[in-house]
């Protein structure tokens, strides 16, 4: 009997089975320099479009911009494959039409940092390889098995990586309790303009929903509360309806997880969308 894998979360790297290996070899097994050159050309287009982004972590582009670069390049690639021109695009189109996996992925790379990349069947294609160490090549293509990219296992794994990669200090999100089931972590990182709620990426939101907010609740119940001076600086920027309603914000955040679980919100896409929209309002500030 074939073992059944749990459904993939958004942006989770897919297992490389015999079919993906065969499709990759059939359609993309030619000269690796040609595939590398194609993605370098796409990356140069993305660089021209994104070079005006403000510094991230106090450092100029491309540092810290793996998400933006990967998203922009993947959008360009998708448009190209709708009307392929040239041998690489025709090969990629045939690969996808044959059942090949081509999607963006996100995870922890080599135990050191968060990374966005592309998975093309049995290949890991990192089109933002220079966004941590800017002297590295812009593009790296490896077999998935050799890439070192792994999914975030749980909230502890996320927090450990955030502390290591961002140099972040992490607190429980007691500042916006209704968002806490999906965004249970408040991070403060050197060089970043403001503290942030973590993590609003599709993968982490789905991970919080998968165990019905259990690990989010544990962190909110036991994690360190934001210091009074940090809370005092952050709260005025949060829309009034998202702030704590009582003098016991920890209990409010924990209760929000329990209500969401009892209401089966983990399976309700409308509820998730509403919380994401609330988060975007928070990012715009109290008038948003």
- Measured CA to CA, the distance from residue 107 to residue 192 in angstroms comes to 21
Per-residue pLDDT, 79: 96
Task: Give the model's pLDDT for residue 2.
Answer: 45
- Res 57: pLDDT: 76
Q: Which mean pLDDT values do the consecutive 10-residue runs of the chain (288 residues) have? A: 69 95 96 96 97 88 94 97 96 97 95 94 97 93 96 96 93 98 94 82 96 98 96 93 95 98 97 96 74
pLDDT at site 6: 72
> What pTM did the predictor assign?
0.89
Instruction: Give me the DSSP letters along 167-230.
Output: --EEEE--SSGGGTTT--EEEE-TT-SS-EEE--SHHHHHHHHHTTTHHHHHHHHHSPPPPHHH
pLDDT for position 1: 41
Asked whether the beta carbons of 116 and 66 are under 8 A apart, the reply is yes
């Amino acid at each position: 009997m074939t073992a059944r894998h749990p459904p993939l979360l958004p942006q989770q790297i897919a297992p490389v089975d015999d079919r993906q290996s065969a499709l990759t070899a059939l359609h993309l097994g030619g000269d690796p320099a040609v595939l590398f050159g194609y993605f370098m050309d796409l990356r140069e287009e993305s660089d021209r479009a994104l070079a005006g982004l403000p510094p991230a972590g106090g450092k100029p582009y491309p540092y810290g911009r793996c998400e933006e670069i990967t998203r922009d390049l993947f959008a360009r690639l998708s448009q190209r494959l709708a009307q392929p021109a040239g041998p690489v695009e025709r090969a990629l189109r045939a690969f996808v039409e044959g059942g090949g996996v081509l999607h963006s992925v996100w995870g922890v790379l080599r135990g050191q940092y968060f990374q966005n990349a592309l998975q093309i069947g049995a290949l890991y294609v990192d089109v933002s390889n220079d966004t941590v160490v800017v002297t590295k090549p812009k593009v790296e293509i490896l077999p998935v098995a050799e890439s070192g990219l792994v999914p975030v296992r749980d909230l502890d794994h996320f927090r450990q990586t955030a502390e290591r990669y961002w140099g972040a200090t992490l607190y429980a999100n007691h500042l916006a309790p209704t968002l806490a089931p999906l965004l249970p972590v408040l991070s403060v990182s050197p060089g970043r303009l403001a503290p942030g709620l973590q993590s609003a990426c599709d993968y982490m939101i789905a991970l919080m929903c998968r165990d019905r907010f259990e690990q989010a609740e544990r962190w909110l119940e036991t994690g360190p509360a934001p210091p009074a001076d940090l809370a005092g600086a952050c709260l005025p920027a949060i829309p009034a309806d998202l702030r704590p309603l009582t003098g016991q914000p920890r209990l409010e955040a924990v209760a929000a997880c329990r209500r969401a679980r009892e209401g089966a919100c983990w399976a309700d896409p409308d509820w998730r969308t509403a919380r994401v929209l609330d988060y975007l309002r928070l990012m715009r500030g109290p008038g948003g």
